[in-house]
Amino acid sequence: MFDIRLEGKQPIYEQICEQVAALITTGALEAGERLPTVRETAKSLGINPNTVQKAYMMLEQRGFIYSVPAKGSYVSDSSSAAKAIIRRAEEALKEAMISAKKAGMQKNDAAQLVEAVWC
């Protein structure tokens, strides 16, 4: 289910978060679908269960999943997942805009780019 790189700069829990979010976004994981347990995921990846727990906790905080005590973690309904996807896109867009501004991009050029995307 996951393609995790143990070496590299990106923390494992972030890789798990991104991959689960992508699976939800593309519809590969549907609303109400149960995720593998923390223990199952940790064992299959050969990582510490606390790392998986951290990823699941972050996904829950972002609205992608919800947990039921003693039952597991499940994909949130489509409206909650859609809101989470929009929040994630807003964060990425904000970071990109800050980087572009620091690099010297003019506001007018950024507005033209936005307009081109929406056309």
Comparing 19-23, 24-28, 96-100, 109-113, the range with the smallest average pLDDT is: 24-28
Confirm whether 25 is domain-assigned: yes
Confirm whether 94 is domain-assigned: yes
What is the pLDDT confidence band of residue 24, given thresholds at 50, 70 and 90?
Answer: confident
Containing structural domain, residue 45: 12-118
User: Of 67, 53, 63, which is closest to residue 16 (Cα–Cα)?
Assistant: 53
Better pLDDT: 80 or 93: 93
pTM, to two decimals: 0.70
Cα gap 111→95, rounded to integer Å = 16
How many Cα atoms sit within 13 Å of 36 on the Cβ side? 15
pLDDT at 85 over 80: no
Confirm whether 111 is domain-assigned: yes
Confirm whether 1 is domain-assigned: no
Confirm whether 105 is domain-assigned: yes
Show the tokens assigned to 9: 């700069």
Confirm whether 4 is domain-assigned: no
Do 56 and 19 meet the contact criterion of CB atoms below 8 Å apart?
Answer: no
Per the structure, how many domains does the chain have?
Answer: 1
Secondary element (H or E) of residue 39: helix 38-45
Return the CATH number at 24: 1.10.10.10
Confirm whether 5 is domain-assigned: no
User: Of 97, 76, 95, 96, which is closest to residue 20 (Cα–Cα)?
Assistant: 76
* Overall average pLDDT of the 43-61 stretch: 95
